[in-house]
């Protein structure tokens, strides 16, 4: 096994609070994996773009987990389309950092998201080590399921991903569905794709009294709370939850006194341009009085929200896995999710939650109404959700990744394919 690996997360730092902008599941993934790799004797340096002048170049995040800030382009958040222009200085910074750190070579590069993969490819070639690549999301797949009003992923990303698929020594998919998409849409060699599902921190996310949790977040014990957690963007469809709540109230107006919709997270993606969009929608649907807008919360704080909820709702148009779904399940709260992407892996239909076809608010309202009307069923789903999540701990993810790393290190290096 390598003693040290380079993990590349160009567009978002593991030191950021997840839940807004570009910080989300990928940040959680890199930290959770790196800290467990460190416990097994593999140190990780996470390379990310510097976004503030006061960031030290090197931060020891945890024992065995180092974050390296690489100056590339102007400080501040940059749109992903702008980031592509700063790949060269980023790659230069990564190579420079390794040169300064010469005695402790990286044995392998793991790229997260296509932009990081492009940088990782250059570094891995220069160092003569394998590149393992996790795409996390795929442009072609995203473009097939765009939310109304969302912009399509650009052609240069598609071409960049195709080139990466040809050149990475091994690809890691979050689910078998994503592995299939890599083969079907990108022509990946199935023998160079492994499925390693992400996980959940079972020490942090655990079941507990719903009543206590409701009290802790300042709500009455008889509240029925519908929960959205994540980056507020069209792709994740928080508007579908608001519309479902309105439909639910239409079916049963008496629920208004105890129904709460909690939206935990900050703006992201195209929603930056329209920060009032959802609040205005809530007003036009006449549900503004029951919606609680919460800023991004720490993982410890999220536990109370998950435990307090009647259900966590994940109506996304596209989702490579959906960590939020598994975190909710680990806290004993069933998930009502769209049957897309990795969500059918994260949620077992009619066992740990309910999968809904499509995004019709009436369908979600029907499912939610039944969970509220039949508390025994809701509790049974919640109990089964805990069992389901127990099989998805990060330790299993790290087992899978170490298998991939080992396998890649004994394989012959691929010749670099021509192209971009
Ligand atoms: N998250 C958080 N605080 C928030 C909202 C979200 O820590 O206020 C975390 C959440 O717990 C989860 C991650 O952000 O671990 C989101 O991951 P997910 O896979 O659901 O979505 P992604 O961001 O990858 O699209």
Does the beta carbon of 342 sit less than 6 angstroms from any atom of ligand 1? Answer: no
Q: Please name the residues in contact with 29: beta carbons below 8 A apart, sequence gap of 6 or more.
A: 112, 134, 136, 198, 323
292 annotated as a binding-site residue: no
* Rounded-to-integer distance, Cα 268 and Cα 326, Å: 21
Is the separation of the CB atoms in 325 and 347 below 8 Å? yes
Does the beta carbon of 297 sit less than 6 angstroms from any atom of ligand 1? Answer: yes
Predicted pLDDT at 400:
98
Predicted pLDDT at 416:
59
Predicted pLDDT at 419:
47
Ligand 1, atom 1, lies closest to the CA of: 19
Ligand 1, atom 17, lies closest to the CA of: 25
Determine the atom of ligand 1 nearest the C-alpha atom of 324.
Answer: 20
Expressed in angstroms and rounded, the spacing between residue 231 Cα and the centre of ligand 1 is 7
Does the beta carbon of 321 sit less than 6 angstroms from any atom of ligand 1? Answer: yes
Determine the atom of ligand 1 nearest the C-alpha atom of 236.
Answer: 25
Expressed in angstroms and rounded, the spacing between residue 26 Cα and the centre of ligand 1 is 8
151 annotated as a binding-site residue: no
| Concatenated DSSP letters of 63-83 | TTEEEEEE--SSSS---HHHH
| Concatenated DSSP letters of 198-237 | --B-TTTS----HHHHHHHTT--TT-EEEEEES-BSGGG-
Q: How far is CA 169 from the centre of its chain?
A: 23
Q: How far is CA 19 from the centre of its chain?
A: 9
Expressed in angstroms and rounded, the spacing between residue 27 Cα and the centre of ligand 1 is 9
Expressed in angstroms and rounded, the spacing between residue 389 Cα and the centre of ligand 1 is 16
Expressed in angstroms and rounded, the spacing between residue 327 Cα and the centre of ligand 1 is 9
Does the beta carbon of 322 sit less than 6 angstroms from any atom of ligand 1? Answer: yes
* Rounded-to-integer distance, Cα 38 and Cα 42, Å: 5
Predicted TM-score (pTM) above 0.80? yes
Predicted pLDDT at 220:
98
Expressed in angstroms and rounded, the spacing between residue 236 Cα and the centre of ligand 1 is 11
> What is the predicted ipTM?
0.99
With H, G, I as helix, E, B as strand and everything else as coil, classify residue 4: strand
Expressed in angstroms and rounded, the spacing between residue 240 Cα and the centre of ligand 1 is 18
Among 11, 15, 17, 18, name the best residue to mutate to test ligand 1's pocket (greatest count of ligand atoms within 8 A of Cβ): 18
Does the beta carbon of 18 sit less than 6 angstroms from any atom of ligand 1? Answer: yes
Expressed in angstroms and rounded, the spacing between residue 298 Cα and the centre of ligand 1 is 10
Give the residue among 178, 142, 174 at the shortest CA–CA distance from 157: 142
- The secondary element (H helix, E strand) that includes residue 277 is helix 277-284
Does the beta carbon of 323 sit less than 6 angstroms from any atom of ligand 1? Answer: yes
Determine the atom of ligand 1 nearest the C-alpha atom of 316.
Answer: 25
Digit-by-digit pLDDT tens for the chain (420 residues) are 889 999 999 999 999 999 988 899 999 999 999 999 999 999 999 999 999 999 999 999 999 999 999 999 999 988 888 999 999 999 999 999 988 876 678 999 999 999 999 999 999 999 999 999 999 999 999 999 888 888 899 999 999 999 999 999 999 999 999 999 999 999 999 999 999 999 999 999 999 999 999 999 999 999 999 999 999 999 999 999 999 999 999 999 999 999 999 999 998 877 777 888 999 999 999 999 999 999 999 999 999 999 999 999 999 999 999 999 999 999 999 999 999 999 999 999 999 999 999 999 999 999 999 999 999 999 999 999 999 999 999 999 999 999 999 999 987 665 655 444
């Amino acid at each position: 096994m390598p003693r040290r690996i380079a993990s590349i997360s160009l567009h978002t730092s593991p030191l950021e609070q997840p839940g807004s902008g570009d910080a989300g599941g990928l940040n959680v993934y890199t930290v959770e994996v790196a800290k467990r790799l460190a416990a097994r004797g593999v140190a990780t340096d996470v390379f990310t773009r510097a976004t503030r002048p006061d960031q030290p170049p090197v931060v020891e995040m945890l024992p065995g987990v180092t974050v390296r800030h690489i100056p590339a382009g102007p400080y501040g958040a940059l749109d992903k389309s702008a980031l592509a222009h700063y790949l060269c200085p980023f790659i230069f910074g990564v190579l420079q950092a390794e040169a300064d750190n010469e005695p402790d070579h990286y044995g392998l590069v793991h790229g997260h998201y296509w932009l990081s993969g492009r940088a990782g490819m250059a570094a891995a070639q220069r160092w003569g080590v394998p590149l393992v690549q996790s795409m996390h999301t795929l442009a072609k797949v995203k473009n097939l399921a765009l939310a109304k009003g969302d912009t399509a992923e650009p052609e240069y990303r598609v071409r960049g991903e195709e080139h990466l698929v040809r050149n990475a020594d091994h690809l890691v998919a979050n689910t078998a569905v994503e592995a299939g998409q890599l083969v079907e849409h990108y022509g990946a060699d199935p023998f160079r794709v492994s499925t390693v599902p992400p996980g959940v921190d079972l020490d942090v996310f655990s079941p507990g009294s719903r009543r206590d949790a409701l009290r802790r977040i300042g709500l009455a014990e008889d509240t029925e709370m519908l929960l959205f957690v994540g980056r507020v963007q069209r792709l994740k469809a928080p508007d579908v939850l608001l519309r479902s709540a309105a439909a639910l109230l239409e079916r049963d107006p008496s629920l208004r006194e105890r129904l709460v919709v909690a939206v935990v997270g900050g703006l992201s993606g195209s929603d930056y341009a329209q920060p009032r969009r959802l609040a205005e929608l809530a007003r036009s649907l006449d549900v503004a009085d029951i919606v609680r807008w919460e800023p991004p919360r720490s993982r410890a704080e999220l536990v109370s929200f998950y435990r307090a909820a009647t259900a966590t709702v994940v109506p996304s148009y596209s989702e490579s896995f959906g960590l939020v779904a598994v975190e909710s399940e680990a806290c004993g709260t069933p998930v009502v999710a769209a049957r897309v992407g990795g969500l059918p892996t994260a949620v077992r239909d009619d066992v740990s939650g309910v999968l809904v076809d499509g995004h019709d608010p009436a369908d979600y309202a029907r499912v939610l109404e039944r969970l509220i009307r039949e508390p025994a069923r809701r509790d049974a789903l919640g109990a089964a959700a805990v069992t389901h999540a127990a099989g998805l701990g990060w330790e299993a993810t790290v087992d899978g990744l170490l298998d991939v790393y080992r396998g890649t290190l004994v394989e012959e290096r691929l010749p670099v394919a021509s192209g971009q």
